[in-house]
């Protein structure tokens, strides 16, 4: 049976940074995100006994061996769960400017988890889907839900209690998230490698772990109270702290480019001028700026005036994973 699923990317407000188990994708800390409406992946999966290997088509082109192997390893987990060794055709389209350096792994693995489990004949609830998506890319477990989402790290060694949960519907407090494109160079250090190196070598990593839970609780409190300045301050500080751990790693690395810093400075200037806006940055050079809807046009225009900025995509909160009808 063919199944098609659509999932949106998310931006971490409180970051997931570091794994305690590499193969099960178990995080060192819990994290919090907003799912975005503008960027998503649509994936069709069809398992068939007629195939003798998995085929992966990405944005209309047959993927290379390395990409196909990654997808196959993920499908192995689903085959194991079902207890059937059959292969699949996976056809995935990203409505994410991937070439621009915006991550698509969260929406990609969330959509793949939903489509592949349905196609193989497993009927899973969202909690189970979140656990599976986590094992493709940690942040993907949060993209199963829309709005504000928390990934609870869990305690068990088998990962059964490590999955995402909805915190609040996005419509209840619909903030604006501006995705600011400053660089499209391929990342030098992928998040998987960056996390590992930081956990193993950075003397700043214990400082991260000591404070991240407090940040998460403050952010959840801010969301419940719709306190924008409280949220913005903790989100920005949490992102800076995560990036600081990479500077202490051996060898050190950083995700920022000069344009990243220009945008950060500009956001701080906007605040000084009385417009509340805050930034956050994932494992790459681009910046996400958070503001309230009443300020979104002014913030967008101000960001477009920054020399290093190539484009600004205006996003709001988006939905969780959905299935699309399969045409006959
Ligand atoms: O799940 P990954 O491998 O894409 O790692 C995500 C890491 C960050 O984007 C930096 C933080 C996060 O919580 O999304």
What is the Å distance from ligand 1's center to 84 Cα? 31
For residue 323 the two structure tokens come to 């299935």
pLDDT at 99 over 60: no
Instruction: Quick: pLDDT tens for 165-187.
Output: 999 999 999 999 999 999 766 66
- 195 Cα to the center of ligand 1, angstroms: 9
Query: Would you say residue 76 has pLDDT above 80?
Result: yes
- Domain residue limits, the chain: 2-171, 173-315
Q: What is the mean pLDDT of the segment spanning 81-104?
A: 85
Which ligand 1 atom is nearest residue 16's CA?
13
Atom of ligand 1 minimally distant from the CA of 33: 13
- Between the CA of 139 and the centroid of ligand 1 the distance, in Å, is 5
Is the per-residue pLDDT at 328 higher than 80?
no
Q: Which atom of ligand 1 is nearest to the CA of 14?
A: 13
In angstroms, what CA-CA distances link 214 with 205, 218, 234?
A: 15, 6, 10
Query: Is the N-terminal amide bond of 280 cis, ω within 30° of 0?
Result: no
Predicted TM-score (pTM) above 0.95? yes
Taking the C-alpha atoms of residue 129 and residue 141, their distance in angstroms, rounded to an integer, is 8
Mean pLDDT confidence for 67-88: 97
Residue 237 Cα to ligand 1 midpoint, Å, equals 17
Q: What is the pLDDT of residue 96?
A: 80
Residue 306 CB contacts under 8 Å (≥ 6 apart), including other chains: 259, 262, 263, 266
As given in the structure block, the two tokens for residue 263 are 């945008």
Mean pLDDT of all residues belonging to the chain:
96
Mean pLDDT, residues 124-136: 98
| Spacing, Cα 51 to ligand 1 middle (Å) | 33
Band (2; pLDDT cuts 50, 70, 90): very high
Q: In sequence order, which ranges of 121-204 are alpha helices (DSSP H)?
A: 126-134, 191-201
pLDDT of residue 98: 60
Distance 1 CA to ligand 1 centre (A): 32
In whole angstroms, what is the distance from residue 292 CA to residue 54 CA?
44
Long-range contacts of 305-310 (CB under 8 A, 24+ apart): 306/259, 306/262, 306/263, 306/266, 307/262, 308/182, 308/258, 308/259, 308/262, 308/263, 309/180, 309/181, 309/182, 309/259, 309/262, 309/263, 310/100, 310/181, 310/182, 310/184
CATH pick for 173-315 out of 1.10.8.50, 3.30.70.890, 3.40.50.1820, 3.30.930.10 = 3.30.70.890
pLDDT at 151 (0 to 100): 98
Residues with CB under 6 A from ligand 1: 12, 15-16, 31, 103, 105, 137-139, 191-192, 282-283
Q: Residue 325 pLDDT more than 70?
A: yes
Question: Given a cut of 90, is residue 146 above it in pLDDT?
Answer: yes
Task: Tell me the two tokens of residue 140.
Answer: 């993907």
**Helix axes of 228-247 and 205-225: crossing angle, nearest 10 degrees:** 160
Q: What atom of ligand 1 comes closest to residue 190's alpha carbon?
A: 3
Lowest mean pLDDT among 2-11, 15-24, 93-102, 230-239: 93-102
pLDDT band at 104; cut points 50, 70, 90: confident
| Interval 1-18 mean pLDDT | 97
Minimal CA–CA distance to 103: which of 316, 288, 305, 309?
288
- DSSP 8-state secondary structure symbol assigned to residue 307: T
**pLDDT tens digits, residue range 50-75?**
999 999 999 999 999 999 999 999 99
Report the range of poorest mean pLDDT among 98-102, 194-198, 213-217: 98-102
CATH of 2-171, one of 3.90.470.20, 3.30.230.10, 3.90.1150.10, 3.20.20.70: 3.30.230.10
Query: Model ipTM?
Result: 0.99
Cβ-count burial 208-218 (b if 16+ within 10 Å, e if not): beeebeebbeb
Ligand 1 atom closest to the Cα of residue 105 is 4
């Amino acid at each position: 049976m063919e199944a098609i699923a659509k999932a949106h990317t998310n931006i971490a407000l409180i970051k997931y940074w570091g794994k305690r188990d590499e193969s099960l994708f178990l995080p060192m800390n819990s994290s919090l995100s907003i799912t975005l409406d503008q960027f998503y992946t649509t994936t069709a999966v069809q398992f068939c006994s007629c195939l003798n290997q998995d085929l992966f088509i990405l944005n209309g082109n047959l993927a290379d061996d390395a990409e196909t192997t990654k997808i196959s390893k993920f499908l192995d987990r689903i085959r194991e769960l079902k207890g059937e060794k059959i292969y699949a055709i996976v056809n995935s389209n990203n409505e994410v400017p991937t070439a621009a350096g915006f991550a698509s792994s969260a929406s990609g693995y969330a959509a793949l988890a939903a489509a592949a489990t349905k196609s193989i004949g497993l009927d899973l609830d969202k909690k189970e889907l979140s656990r599976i998506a986590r094992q493709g890319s940690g942040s993907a477990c949060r993209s199963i839900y829309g709005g504000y989402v928390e990934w609870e790290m869990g305690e068990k060694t088998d990962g059964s209690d490590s999955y995402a949960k909805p915190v609040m519907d996005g419509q209840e407090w619909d903030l604006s998230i501006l995705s600011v494109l400053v660089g499209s160079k391929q990342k030098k250090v992928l998040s998987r490698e960056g996390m590992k190196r930081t956990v193993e070598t950075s003397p700043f990593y214990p400082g991260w772990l000591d404070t991240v839970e407090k940040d998460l609780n403050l952010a959840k409190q801010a969301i419940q109270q719709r306190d924008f300045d409280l949220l913005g301050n903790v989100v920005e500080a949490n992102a800076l702290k995560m990036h600081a751990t990479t500077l202490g790693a051996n060898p050190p690395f950083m995700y920022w480019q000069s344009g990243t810093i220009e945008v950060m400075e500009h956001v701080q200037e906007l605040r000084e001028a009385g417009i509340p806006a805050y930034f956050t940055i994932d494992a790459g050079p681009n910046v996400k700026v958070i503001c309230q809807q009443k300020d979104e046009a002014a913030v967008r225009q101000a960001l477009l005036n920054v020399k290093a900025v190539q484009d600004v995509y205006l996003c709001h909160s988006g939905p969780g994973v959905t299935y699309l009808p399969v045409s006959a």
